[in-house]
A and B are shown apart, each in its own frame.
Chain A
Amino acid sequence: MLRASVTDRLQDTSDDVILLQVAQGNERAMELCITKYGPLVWSIAKRHVQDHSSIEDVVQETFTDLWKSARRYNPDIATESTFVGLLARRRAIDYARRESRRPKLEPLPETESFLEPALESSAALRCQNEDVRSALKELPEETRHIFSLHFDKGMTHPEIVEQTGLPLGTVKTRLRRGLIDLRNTLRRLDSGQPSIPTT
């Protein structure tokens, strides 16, 4: 059976086909990409930087990065939205670091050096939104709460400490451990394995 044409599929934004066309320099795909992922990139930028001008800078940098990096996108490794989110997050964190908006935290190592592992299938994590929601439900309540404060409210670690009364070390450990557990759960969901009952 004849599958839909690229033009048709570009209109079907549920498929991960936009970046493959962006990689070929397709202008309409780039416009669709901005339309579809612009709000996500804006939201991620807004979480990491605060003033309007800086947010716009991050959005611009992210899309420029996306035009350059689209050919590296592998649909077997991540969904488009996750890939775009990853680039946006990197750009935003880099920008925040440059602007020294987080003086109490040490800077990240240069993220460019971490691009290469993107090509490795061992990193594959083709999680859909429902998978993330399922994985979140498997985390302990206290971890979900800290995740919400950090990822949703955009709180810094000191702000979470102030909000929760937990020691900084505990906040860091729960965030890190929570991220690792979430990744492991997503991998399990990705492979179709059943959930492990918690006691």
Chain B
Amino acid sequence: MNEQEILDRFEELEAGRILGDLDSNEIKEWEKLSADPRCKSDLSLELAAAALESEFLGSEETGLSKDLLGKLQEDMAGFVVPEEPQESEDNVIRPANWQTILAAPKTGWAIAALFALLLIAQSFIDKGPQEPKGLTTAEVETTSAKESRDTLISKASDLVKSDFGGLENYGEMSGTVVWSDELQEGYMSLTNLPANNPGTNQYQLWIVDPTRDEKPVDGGVFDIPSGDGTTIIPIRNPLVITDPKAFVITLEQPGGVVVSKQEVVVALAKAS
């Protein structure tokens, strides 16, 4: 057999394997050919068979019995990732609260509403298995963060850069955020942000990425040490970010939260 004939034969045997009609000689032939590097198996024939079977059977309306549904629920339980405790009704974020908090001239209503809506959605859907990751003061003070940021700026071809604007009591603060979707890496450079007492509260970054169809993504909990100067904070996103529209800093309880009560919104940076 020439090469084309070998490939055609392998394809026919693959179809037979998927249809379940190989005889013993054909199984041996299939095993021999499948070891041939020229004969590459893929799922397309099996997907076609599944689609075909689904098409023929799709119109059959069959309800699963209560007993079977009960068994499926039991089996399912072993794979469910436990939800975080639901926020009480008093703690559910309401758009009006956000509109009040984010009414500063520098903020965009669209982003505020977007962030609020996404945070509301967050209370209704599962939380990922990841917990917010805290950064120690020592980490943010290291010069490696600055070096890493500079490296990112020099090598990222899709760098997003936005300026932070402080809100309400944080009007004096300023800063920038740089982010690369491709490298999934980003840094905040924050100036005049008051030092926090990690035992009392910590800053937390939220990333608004509507394309994820999920809630604002936790960008990490961080501390600002006392003293003057600019602090470089690496972004710690446990989930992939693909199109960030805004970066929001809130002040939260030590360790951060999964659902922000938006009691203290510190700063906002809109991605251009």
Q: Mostly helix, strand, loop or mixed at chain B's interface?
A: helix
Tell me if B53 and A85 are in contact (CB < 8 A). Answer: yes
Q: Which residue of B lies closest to A20 (CB)?
A: B213
Tell me if B121 and A85 are in contact (CB < 8 A). Answer: no
Q: Which residue of A lies closest to B41 (CB)?
A: A117
Chain A proximity of B40: nearest CB distance (Å)? 8
Chain B residue contacts of A196, Cβ below 8 A: none
Q: A34 and B64 in contact (CB under 8 A), knowing A6-B125, A127-B51?
A: yes
Tell me if B124 and A7 are in contact (CB < 8 A). Answer: yes
Q: Name B105-138 residues within 8 Å CB distance of A.
A: 114, 117-118, 121, 124-126, 128-129
Chain A proximity of B105: nearest CB distance (Å)? 23
Chain A residue contacts of B210, Cβ below 8 A: 2-3
A17 vs B30: C-alpha distance when bound (angstroms): 36
A42 vs B31: C-alpha distance when bound (angstroms): 32
Q: A86 and B56 in contact (CB under 8 A), knowing A26-B126, A177-B12?
A: no
CB of B211 within 8 Å of the partner chain: yes
Which of B15, B79, B213 touches A6 (beta carbons < 8 Å)? Answer: B213
Chain A residue contacts of B50, Cβ below 8 A: 82-83, 85-86, 88-89
Q: Mark B37-56, 1 if CB is under 8 A from A, else 0.
A: 00001111111111111111
Tell me if B47 and A123 are in contact (CB < 8 A). Answer: yes
CB of B60 within 8 Å of the partner chain: yes
A129 vs B21: C-alpha distance when bound (angstroms): 26
Q: A132 and B126 in contact (CB under 8 A), knowing A2-B114, A3-B210?
A: no
Tell me if A30 and B79 are in contact (CB < 8 A). Answer: yes
CB of B96 within 8 Å of the partner chain: no
A85 vs B57: C-alpha distance when bound (angstroms): 10
Chain B proximity of A99: nearest CB distance (Å)? 13
A17 vs B214: C-alpha distance when bound (angstroms): 12
In the complex, which range does the number of interface residues on chain B fall in?
35 or more
CB of B72 within 8 Å of the partner chain: yes
Tell me if B64 and A42 are in contact (CB < 8 A). Answer: yes
Chain A residue contacts of B227, Cβ below 8 A: none
Tell me if B213 and A3 are in contact (CB < 8 A). Answer: yes
Q: Name A125-179 residues within 8 Å CB distance of B.
A: 125, 127, 129, 132-133, 136, 147-148, 150-152, 157, 172, 175-177, 179
Tell me if B46 and A86 are in contact (CB < 8 A). Answer: yes
Tell me if B44 and A129 are in contact (CB < 8 A). Answer: no
Q: Name B1-48 residues within 8 Å CB distance of A.
A: 11-12, 15-24, 26-27, 30-31, 41-48
Which of B30, B41, B125 touches A7 (beta carbons < 8 Å)? Answer: B125
A176 vs B69: C-alpha distance when bound (angstroms): 36
CB of A193 within 8 Å of the partner chain: no
Supply 27 A–B pairs (Cβ within 8 Å), ascending by A: A6-B121, A25-B81, A40-B54, A43-B58, A44-B54, A59-B64, A59-B68, A63-B72, A63-B76, A67-B75, A77-B47, A82-B51, A83-B50, A85-B54, A105-B23, A120-B43, A123-B42, A123-B43, A123-B44, A125-B47, A127-B47, A147-B56, A152-B56, A176-B16, A180-B11, A180-B45, A186-B51
- The 8 A-B residue pairs whose C-beta atoms are closest, nearest first, are A25-B81, A85-B50, A176-B15, A123-B43, A43-B57, A183-B48, A123-B42, A86-B50
